[in-house]
Every structure is written in structure tokens, then in C-alpha cells.
Structure 1
Amino acid sequence: MKILSLNQIKKVDQYCIDYEDISSIELMERAAKSCFDWIIQHYNHKLRKISFIILVGNGKNGGDGLSLSRMLHLHGARVKIYILNISNHFSNEFIINKNKILRYGIELNSINEGDKFPLFDNKNKLIDAIFGIGLNRPIKKKYWKSFFYYLNNQKFSSVISIDVPSGLFMEKNHDIIIKATHTLTFQVPKIPFFLSDYAFYVGKWYLLNIGWKKKYIHNMYVKNFYIDNTDVHSIYRSREKFSHKGNYGHGLIIGGSYGMIGSVLLSAKASFRIGIGKLSVYLPHCGNKIIQTVLPESIIKTDRKENLISSIPNNFIIQKYAAIGIGMGMGKDPITEYALESFLLRLRKKNKKIPMVIDADAINILSKKPNILNLLLEKETILTPHQKEFERLCGTWKNDYQKLSLLKKFSKKYNIFLVLKGAHTVISTPHGNLYFNSTGNPGMATAGSGDVLTGMITGLLAQGYSSKNACIMGVYLHGLAGDIASKELNEESIMAMDIINYIGKAYKKLKNHE
């Protein structure tokens, strides 16, 4: 799913008006009706028992709020509207909807700069329709900033923001923002919804359909995407009846050190669960019996050292592995560091374009020796850091927008893919595109979860998926397996092995378009 810029959203709205022969007021009615339908569904049709306080600005978002107020009133809800006179400009849509409100006798109040803040009954539900997506400069006046702080300190049972929480900028850092419990956004998600800096304000968000023309959006050029079931379903390739294990690739997992063999086991098992044909595992000798016993499907090759990886054999370069996953539990011993650097150098010299996923300690080694980064194979390499590992690679950032900028710059500089793990795991491509994941939950913040993801992406690469598609499909199925585990167990109880065990059910949901 495409994530549109503010200007593109305005263009789509205008396209609907121009080519569907509808007015901006009629489009606004659609938006308000979609919010009304959500409220009806969410509160189980009990509108007559609910009181709403609706705060509206005097722009288009305020017009949405007034139109929604009218619908709630006509269906029996108790509605009290407050107009915030923050500016002297009134949109036509606002004026038209205000006149409709006056005809229905709904209570209408105004708040002007310098007024005493009204006392709100916290049992009411607050609807925020003050600014919407059009805000492009900070709130300068101290009175209105104080009013927003005042609202955020009230204990409303719920706060519903229309399109975006008021005060939230679409494409840059924030100032003061209304704290929503629910955000009802129109047609496409907005970038701030995926950033931890704004999670406190956005709450749980919902996509509402207001009838945009998909064909027009399809032709729009964008740099940001939201990964959903439809996207991944279009990537997925079903198996042929007469295929064999050779059709699904021979992968190689390299990693492990004394006490950290489990990370290799998780990656290897995840590779099998995602559908790899054959898998070799290279690890210190101390891990031989563990892997042979727990995962007899794998082919084991061990280092000459007992407790760490001291070298990576030349025949791994000669042999035609379809994909390599490296770094899990590897440790950062100087001998291991040299082994990784030497391996990457030999791959580069031989010009062996083997798709590779680099994770965990291998990333930490790259951070200590940034010259090695120039050895990475362009467009074939995927790095899968978590937040701290990415910080070691690129340095610190002041806010999430700066973090995204660093992510894109790094991918473009080295012509590689980056998978930054976390809530809404984000993939950065060599072309500077960003893909935000839609699946996953806090229960997946557990040891070994990242090792599972590396194994899954490695397994998809081995099956012939492109680097980009392996990343997209890998993070989506990884999160989906975690979501199924969360429902059948609970968030607190999820272990990395549970994610592996639910990959099969995740595949089923994907294939069934659920």
C-alpha cells in the first residue's frame, strides 16, 4: 500500500471532486460518515447513552467534525461542540457545516484566545477535529499551547482524533499534539503512525475508506509503502506439483560461539519452516551435537576451534549456495572478526554474488571496522540491525525523522538493503524507498526473535525471491506468526521458538488472503 505525501493527498481529494462530479462538501460528508460508521460499530450502537465533546477548528478538519456532530446528534447522541478560534480564516466547508449545525439546534460554543478554559466532564468522549493533516507550522501562541496541555491532562474515557491528532505534522518533527486513544485516518496511513516518537499521541489507528479512485493512486510515484496482505500475496509463489528440494535452494547459516549456539538453531529452524530446500550450518565444534540432535534436517559443518569461529572455508565460496545468513551468536573475538573480514574480501575478489543476510555480531563487527562495509556485495546484501546495532553503524539521531534519513542514506551509500527491526519494522532499499511492516506485536520483543527473522529471510532468498521481496515477505510473515502466537498464547508468553512454530499458520492466512 502506498503512503502518500500531504500534497499527493490533496491531489487525490481534488481528483475525486473533479472526476466524480462531487463537491468538496460531499467528499467531506463521506469522510464524516466513515467516522460515524466506525463510532457506531465501536460502541455497539449505544449512541443514546453517550455524550460527546467535539472540538473543531475553522478549517476543513473542523468541517469534518461539524458534519460528524450532526450525524451523531440525529442518531440520539448528546453532542456539545466547541469552536476553537485559533485563526481568522474560515474554510467554505466549515461555514456550510456550521450553518447546518445551527439549523438543528445543536449546542455550539466558542473558545477565543484569553478565555477561561471550559470545565469538561471526563465521562464524555472527546472528538478532536481541530487541525487535521494540513498543519504545517508550530502553534505559536502560548494560550493555545496551554489549552492543548490542559486537554492532555484531562482523563477522558476516550479521545478520537479525525485523520491525525491535532498538532501532529505529516512530514516533520512535532510541537504540541493532542493525545488520542483512537485515530480515524482516511484511506492511507501517515508516516508518523509508524514512529515511536508519536505512538503516545496516535494511540490505535484505523484506516477508513472514503472512496478514493485506486487507479489514480496506482499511477502516483511514492517513496514510502505500508506492507499489507495484498502486497505480500502478490509476491508469494506457490509450489509446483513436480518440484523437489533442489528447486527451493541450498542455504548456508554461519554463526554461533560457546553459549550462543541457540541463536544459530533458531535461524536454521526458521529457514526450514519458511520453505528452504536444503540448509548447511557452519558453527564452532561445540555446537555440533546440539544442532545434529535438535535439527537433524540440517547439514553440519564445524570450525576447527571448539568455542568460536576462527575461519570460514574457501569451499563455501566455490560451492553454489543460493543464500547465506551470517552473524547470529558469532561473538566479537578478534579471530572471528578477522574470519568475517577475510570471507567478505574473498567473496568480493571472486565477484561471487551470493545473496547474504548479515545480522547481530556480524553487524557489530562491521560497526567496529567500517572499511569492511565497502566489501559488501551491492544489491545482494541485507543488514538486519535492531535499534542499538543501527546506532553503532550510523551514530545517534535526535528524532525518528532523522533516523529514517540516516537509514535511507546508509542504504543508498552502500547500495544495500537495511531491515531495522522493531515495532513496524522498516525496510530501506538501495533506491531510498521505505517499507513499513503492518504485522507484529510487543510480545515479539524477546530474545531470539531477530535470529528467527534472519533465518526466514535467508530461506526466502534461497528459494529465489529477490532481496527486496525476501525482506518484505520475511518481515510480514515474521510479524504475522508473532500475531497468531499472541492470540493463541499471549504477548507476555511468546518465545522465539513460538514464532517459528506459527510460520505455517501465517502462510495459511497469507494464502487465504485473511
Structure 2
Amino acid sequence: MKILSSYQIKKLEQDCIDHEHISSIDLIEKAATSCFNWIIHHKYLLTKTLKNIILLVGTGKNGGDGITLAKKLYLYGYNITTIYIVNIANHESNEFVIQKNNIIKYGINIEYIYENQTFPLFNNPYNTLLIDAIFGIGFNRPITSIYWISFFNYINNQNFSNVISIDIPSGLLMEEEKSNMAIIKATYTLSFHFPKISFFLPDYADYIGKWYLLNIGWKENYVNNIITKYFFIDKYMISKIYIKKKRHKFTHKGTYGHGLLIGGSYGMIGSIALASKASLKTGIGKLSVYIPRCGYTILQQFIPEAIVQTDNHDFFIQKIPLSFKVNSIGIGMGMGDKNEKTSNAVKTFLLYQKKYENIPIVIDADAINILSKTLNFVNYLPYNTILTPHPKEFYKLCGSWKNDYHKLEKLKTFSQKNNIFCVLKGAYSIISTPDGYLYFNSTGNPGMATAGSGDVLSGIITSLLSQGYSQKEACIFGVYIHGLSGDIAAEQKSEESIIAEDIINYMDQSYQKINNY
């Protein structure tokens, strides 16, 4: 699914108006109808006898959406206490005026809020649904007025039972690095067709709440003509990747590749064990594991399907054989980053791979930490290598960022400059590619924030590379099925009780779901 800029969405709207013989009023009607249908479908938000509704609307098209929604809810039988027109812009669009005039005849209380007047008092806000339709995607500069900043903060402190924002929480900038002190905090954001990039950024999670995409009938051919480098990984994208790799009758283990995982140290053999089991459960044909000697018995017992090779040292890896006849390599899980011999072994191995081999590599965990301590560490990275850092590891690689938009720019630059793939782990794990694309994952839950979850992901991606997925496909499919397995685990257990091995154990159900896409 494409993620579009505000400019692209406005162009898409205009294309619909120009070529489909519909008006901007028709689009407002479609938007309001989709929001209305969502609200009455989620009946727990409102009961006709117990809850009231107030609206904050601006004077542009988003305000027109809000007023039209208010009319539909009123005619359905809900109590619209007041529509407050928040007059920040001091200008009313034609669409807004038309919708305002249409609702006046119903006798709904409408009040203007002007700058420097006393804030309105709300009766029983805890028993009231607030609908926010002040600003839409056209909002492009921070609010600087002390009055309006105070007003937004006042609204956020009212403890409304729920707050629904239409398209985007008012005051939130879609794709700007500029900070804004005035943003409505939504419980739910009802957005149209496409997610906004701010929905995926931790800085704005408290404002967006839980977001939903609503269809308002934009034609697919107009969407297809828009070029973007930002994508949200959805079922359609996954089915296109997976269908090419579905298994055929006359295949054997060699068809699905031979992978190698390198890692482990005394007390941390569990990391490489989890990565190994995840790799096999993802469908690799054959797996070798290179570990220190202390892990030999553990690996043979925990995952007997793996071929175990050991270093000469008992407790850590001190020398890695340079050449392996494998289809993919994953390195770093549980390896430790304090031992100089281990660090030198990792760097020597990577330099050899860069110069002489053409094997896809996944670099994770302690291997990332080892590289981050090294001046000019990117010189050790073979082209198209996949790095899988969490935010702290990414900070070690690239330094600090001013805000989440700046972090995205650093991520893109890092991949493009060094010709590598980077999987920045977390909620909506972000994949950056050497050609400047960003992919945001749609699966996963907070229960996956648990030790070993990242090791499982590295094993999954290494397995997919061995099976013939490209680096981009392995990253996209890998983060998706990893998150999907975690989602199934959360459904069957709870977010609090998930451990990394649960993610592995639900891989079979994830594949069953994907087979039905």
C-alpha cells in the first residue's frame, strides 16, 4: 500500500473531481458517510441515551467533513450537543459554507470560537464523544498563537470519553520536521484510503491513538499512477512476494537452500538457538550453525535438525572460517562485543565476504555493536548486506536525530550511501533500501518487545535469503511473518506472556494465513 504526501493526496482528489464528474462536495459526503458508518459499527463508543457528541470543526474542507458527519449522526438519533467552529483561519471555504448552511435548519447549536475569547465549558466531558475536524492534511505550518496553543491543551485536558479525529489529528503536520505545540490527542483517527507517514513514528503515537483506513471510492487507476517511495506492507504486497516461492511437488531440501548462522557465547547460546529454530521453521532446506564449543550440546538437543560446527574456543568465537558453501549467512546473535578476538574475527570474515564472496548476509545484534565501535565501519559491509538494528544500535551506527522525521532521513541516507538494506526494528519496523525506498511493517504488537525476538527475526530473514528471496523480499516478508506470528501468539495467549519461542511456534499458523491471501 502506498503512503502518499499531502500534495499527492490533493492531486488524487483533484483527479477524481476532474475525471469522474464529481464535486468536492461529493467527496465531503463520501468522507462523512465512511466516518458515520465506522462510528455506528463501533457501537461501544456511543449509546443514544447515555452519551452526547460535540464537534470541533475548522472552516475548510475538513470542517465540512465534520459538519456533514454531525448531520448524519443527528438524523440517526444521536444527541449533537454543540458544533464549535474554531475560527483560526478567519476564512471559510465554499465547501464549508455550503455544509454549514445545510445543517442550520436542523436546529443544532452552533457556536464560533474566536481568538482571545473565554474557552467553552463542557458539561460531563467524560460522558461525551468529541469529534475533531479542525484541520486536515492541508495544515502545513505550526500554530504559533499562545491562545490557540492553550486552547488545544485545554481540549486535551478535558477527559472526553473518546476523541475521534477525521483524517488526521488537528495540528499534526503530515511530513514536516517542524514541531507543533498544538495537536489534538485522538483516541481514534479515521483516515481516508492511505496511512500518513506520521502514523508510524513514535513521536506522534500519543496523538494518533488507534488509526483506521476508510474507503471513499478513489479509483485504483489514479492511485496506480502516483509514484512514491514510501509503502505500508499489506496483504496484497505479501501475497505477490509469496506466490512466486510457493512449494512445488518435485523439490528437495537443496531447492530451499543452505544457510549459515554465526554467533553465541558463554551464557548467550539461547540467542543463536532461537535464530536457528526460527530459520528452520521458516522453511530453509538445510542449516549450519557456527558457535563456541560450550554451545554444542545445547544446540544438538534444542534443534537437532541443525548442523553444528564449533570454534576452537570454549566460551566465545575467536576465529571464523572464511569460506562456506552456503546460500546465506546470518551473524551476530548472542556473540558478545567485548572480546577483541571475536571483534577481529567478525571484521576479517566480513572483509573476506566483501572481497571474494557474493553470499547475502544478515548482520544483527553484537556484530552491529562490533562494527559501530570501528572507525569507517561501513568499509566492512558487503554490498546489499542487511543490517537489523534496534533504535539504540542504530544510534550507535549513525548518531542522534532531532526527531522521528530526521531519523527517517538518516535511515534512508545510511542505506543509499552504503548500498545496504536496513531493518530498523520496533513498532512498524522500517525497511530502508539502497534505492531510497522505505517500507513500514503492518504486523506485530508490544508483546514482541521481549528478549530473543530480534534473534528470531534474523533467523527468519536468513532462511528466506537461502530460499531464493531477494534481499528486499526477504526483509519485507521476514518482518511481516515475524509480526504476524507474534500477533497470533498474542491472540492465543496475551501480549504480556509472549516469549520469543512463541513467535517461532506460531510460524505454521502464519503461513496458513498467508496461503489464504
The two structures have a TM-score, normalised by structure 1, of 0.97
Where do residues 68-147 of structure 1 align in structure 2 (5 Å cutoff)?
68-79=69-80, 80-121=82-123, 122=125, 123-147=127-151
Q: Partner amino acid for 1:408?
A: K
* 2:196 equivalent among 165, 177, 190: 190
Q: Partner amino acid for 2:206?
A: F
**What is aligned with 2:320?**
312
Q: Any conservation in 2 of the 1:248–1:462 contact (CA below 8 Å)?
A: yes
Question: The residue matched to 1:171 in structure 2 has which SS?
Answer: coil
| Residue 72 (structure 1) shift | 0.7
* Partner Cα separation in structure 1 for residue 353 and residue 309 of structure 2: 19
* Partner Cα separation in structure 2 for residue 153 and residue 341 of structure 1: 53
Question: The residue matched to 1:183 in structure 2 has which SS?
Answer: strand
Question: The residue matched to 2:56 in structure 1 has which SS?
Answer: strand
Q: Any conservation in 2 of the 1:267–1:451 contact (CA below 8 Å)?
A: yes
Q: Deviations over 1:87-134 (max 9, x none)?
A: 221111100000001122211111111211111131110000001111
Q: Partner amino acid for 1:83?
A: I
* 1:277 equivalent among 273, 281, 285: 285
Runs of 5+ in structure 2 lacking a partner?
Answer: none
Q: Any conservation in 1 of the 2:445–2:487 contact (CA below 8 Å)?
A: yes
Is 1:377 aligned with 2:382?
yes
Q: Partner amino acid for 1:390?
A: F
* 2:373 equivalent among 368, 375, 384: 368
Q: Partner amino acid for 2:156?
A: N
Q: Any conservation in 2 of the 1:246–1:278 contact (CA below 8 Å)?
A: yes
Q: Any conservation in 2 of the 1:49–1:77 contact (CA below 8 Å)?
A: no
**What is aligned with 1:40?**
40
* Partner Cα separation in structure 2 for residue 244 and residue 270 of structure 1: 20
Q: Partner amino acid for 1:5?
A: S
Question: The residue matched to 1:365 in structure 2 has which SS?
Answer: helix
Q: Partner amino acid for 1:504?
A: D
Pair 1:377–1:315, CA change in 2 (3 A): closer
**What is aligned with 2:240?**
234
Q: Deviations over 1:1-56 (max 9, x none)?
A: 00011110001111111111111001110000000000000116844543100000
Is 1:424 aligned with 2:428?
yes
Is 1:262 aligned with 2:270?
yes
| Residue 423 (structure 1) shift | 0.5
| Residue 315 (structure 1) shift | 3.5
**What is aligned with 1:442?**
446
| Residue 284 (structure 1) shift | 0.2
* Partner Cα separation in structure 2 for residue 510 and residue 413 of structure 1: 34
Q: Any conservation in 2 of the 1:40–1:47 contact (CA below 8 Å)?
A: no
RMSD: 1.0
* Partner Cα separation in structure 2 for residue 11 and residue 438 of structure 1: 26
Q: Partner amino acid for 2:264?
A: G
Is 1:154 aligned with 2:158?
yes
Deviates more, 1:57-66 or 1:341-350: 341-350
| Residue 479 (structure 1) shift | 0.4
Q: Deviations over 1:304-356 (max 9, x none)?
A: 0110101111342xx2x110000001112100000011111212231x11000
| Residue 215 (structure 1) shift | 1.5
Runs of 5+ in structure 1 lacking a partner?
Answer: none
| Residue 413 (structure 1) shift | 1.0
* Partner Cα separation in structure 2 for residue 11 and residue 306 of structure 1: 63
* 1:489 equivalent among 473, 489, 493: 493
**What is aligned with 2:64?**
63
Question: The residue matched to 1:104 in structure 2 has which SS?
Answer: coil
Q: Any conservation in 2 of the 1:443–1:493 contact (CA below 8 Å)?
A: yes
* 2:252 equivalent among 216, 220, 244: 244
* Partner Cα separation in structure 1 for residue 141 and residue 48 of structure 2: 36
Question: The residue matched to 1:3 in structure 2 has which SS?
Answer: coil
Where do residues 167-246 of structure 1 align in structure 2 (5 Å cutoff)?
167-173=171-177, 174-175=179-180, 176-236=182-242, 237-246=245-254
Pair 1:179–1:251, CA change in 2 (3 A): same
* Partner Cα separation in structure 2 for residue 469 and residue 504 of structure 1: 19
**What is aligned with 2:467?**
463
Identity percentage of aligned residues = 61
Q: Partner amino acid for 1:260?
A: M
| Residue 170 (structure 1) shift | 0.3
* Partner Cα separation in structure 1 for residue 383 and residue 47 of structure 2: 58
* Partner Cα separation in structure 2 for residue 344 and residue 194 of structure 1: 33
Q: Any conservation in 1 of the 2:354–2:383 contact (CA below 8 Å)?
A: no
| Residue 219 (structure 1) shift | 2.0
Question: The residue matched to 1:113 in structure 2 has which SS?
Answer: coil
